[in-house]
Amino acid sequence: MANRTWWQGRAATLSWLVALVAGLLVSAAYPAAASGGSKAPAIGVAPHYKVVGKADPADPPIFGCQVSTPPTCYGPAQIRTAYGIDKVKATGAGRTIVIVDAFQSPTIRHDLALFDQTFELPGATLNIVAPDGLTPFDPNDGNQVGWAGEITLDVEWAHAVAPGAKLTLVLAKSNDDADILSATQFAVDHNLGDVISQSFGEAEQCVDPAIERAQHRMFTKATLKGITLLASSGDQGAAQPSCDGSTFIKAASSPASDPLVTGVGGTLLDADHLTGVYHSETTWNEPQFEAGTGGGFSVVYGTPVFQKNLHLPSRGVPDVAYNAGINSGVLAAWSSSGLGQDLFFRFGGTSAGSPQWAGLVALAAQLRHARVGYLNPQVYLLSRVKPVYAALFHDITTGDNSFTGTDAAGNPVSIAGFPATRGWDPATGLGTPKANTLVPVLGGRLP
């Protein structure tokens, strides 16, 4: 294009070169094959979502959790202000966000419309694709209900960040690894959108090596098409559920650990309950809920080129972060929970961050008039210049992602995590976005 800026040209070149190099970094040390892995949404079971109630008819509606001290939930206006999204002169118009999930939520169109009406957002264009068939919704299946909540969170909050972008929800017939892979492969093969959000994951050790290799090949194909890939880093701190679900193990989460994917960790956001003015953030770690931001080091992938200067032992995750607290959760309308029609819930978990980062990518793509592409080499390059890094990210320097909980037999489990430090760390990555400056830069507009 004649009007490509210097930054766009350099970012595009880096994106392609590093994508090709990263594709060569798959370690030969694959874990032993696991039988029948399943992807679990980060907010699959309570207490990662809590019912708030029906919307107050006040204009605009204010929920009780918004005015508590400190606030324990935020609506779109508060989040958009806190991260500077409200100052970005883009809506995502002309771009498409792909959201991959499993099963279905039979009320998602209704709930999205209610969410938009309640928070005065423009109506959304939502396409739903089930390439391997749509599994009938069973409200008595807790796993399916958890995924319905995940769908609700993903769709509504991608739209809250990029209200002008089209949404394509791609539904796997189950959360078995092979079915998730098949659904994502369909999205890549058919080039369904500019960015793919994946709010799910499991311990790398639990993924069949053949599935892992096929997934990485698929991600390489997506990257070469300019599709940005995002995934949540997990909700048990430095731990992940063991392959048999009986306990927890120290592990990084797949697919966030793939070098071609931007892993999204979590923070606890403190912002004004009404205006959304940003106060501070710390590492998301709420031991009262046995929850915290996923992060650590891969046992599958070596250190990618974009992290070489950090001198890490292997691929480190997450890359970036976003608000994920249960006691600083986001509001969403959800009618397939089994608790009642038109109810609002507050959601927590790193699964809130992946779709919102996808929204930021859509905003940048609109400004760029082209896909943002492979995100990791771009954000790590920007972070290497301290004044630029400070202008683009909130560097989270407090807290850690150690995990304390109980196993299936009720025995205590404690797994040491990693502290947040200056610059990148395996708890909050590079930090959270200052969207008013970061998005224009990713959109090719130098400050």
Residue whose token pair is 């790398």 = 204
In a domain, 360, yes or no: yes
pLDDT score recorded for residue 382:
96
pLDDT score recorded for residue 443:
96
pLDDT score recorded for residue 44:
38
- Angstrom distance (rounded) from CA 134 to CA 316: 35
Number of domains in the chain: 1
Kindly state the average pLDDT of the residues 215-229.
98
Structure tokens at 263: 């892993």
In a domain, 447, yes or no: no
Backbone region of residue 239 per phi and psi (left: phi > 0; alpha: psi in -120 to 50; beta: other values): beta
pLDDT score recorded for residue 34:
38
Q: Looking at the predicted structure, is the pLDDT value of residue 158 above 90?
A: yes
Peptide bond into 255 cis (omega under 30): yes
Kindly state the average pLDDT of the residues 139-145.
94
**Confidence bin at 59 (pLDDT 50/70/90):** confident
Kindly state the average pLDDT of the residues 14-22.
39
pLDDT score recorded for residue 8:
40
Q: Looking at the predicted structure, is the pLDDT value of residue 35 above 70?
A: no
> Higher pLDDT residue, 131 or 445?
131
**Confidence bin at 37 (pLDDT 50/70/90):** confident
pLDDT score recorded for residue 45:
35
Residues 6 or more apart whose CB falls under 8 angstroms from that of 377 comprise: 14, 15, 18, 305, 306
pLDDT score recorded for residue 76:
97
- Angstrom distance (rounded) from CA 354 to CA 260: 15
Q: Looking at the predicted structure, is the pLDDT value of residue 70 above 90?
A: no
In a domain, 124, yes or no: yes
pLDDT score recorded for residue 26:
36
pLDDT score recorded for residue 447:
58
What are 239-255's pLDDT values in tens digits?
999 999 899 999 999 99
CATH of the domain at 40: 3.40.50.200
> Higher pLDDT residue, 28 or 342?
342
> How deeply is 239 buried, as exposed, middle or buried, from its count of CB atoms within 10 A (0-12, 13-18, 19+)?
buried
In a domain, 1, yes or no: no
Beta-sheet pairing, 316-317 with 296-297? antiparallel
pLDDT score recorded for residue 61:
84
pLDDT score recorded for residue 446:
66
What are 163-190's pLDDT values in tens digits?
999 999 999 999 999 999 999 999 999 9
Tell me if 102 sits within 8 A of 179, measured CB to CB. Answer: yes
Kindly state the average pLDDT of the residues 85-107.
98
**Arithmetic mean of pLDDT over the chain:** 90
What are 267-318's pLDDT values in tens digits?
999 999 889 999 999 999 999 999 999 999 999 999 999 999 999 999 999 9
- Angstrom distance (rounded) from CA 389 to CA 372: 19
pLDDT score recorded for residue 36:
53
Kindly state the average pLDDT of the residues 45-72.
80
For the whole model, what pTM was predicted?
Answer: 0.92
**Side-chain half-sphere exposure of 437, counting CA atoms within 13 A:** 14
| End-to-end CA separation in angstroms for the chain | 21
Structural domain boundaries, residue 310:
6-442
Q: Looking at the predicted structure, is the pLDDT value of residue 73 above 80?
A: yes
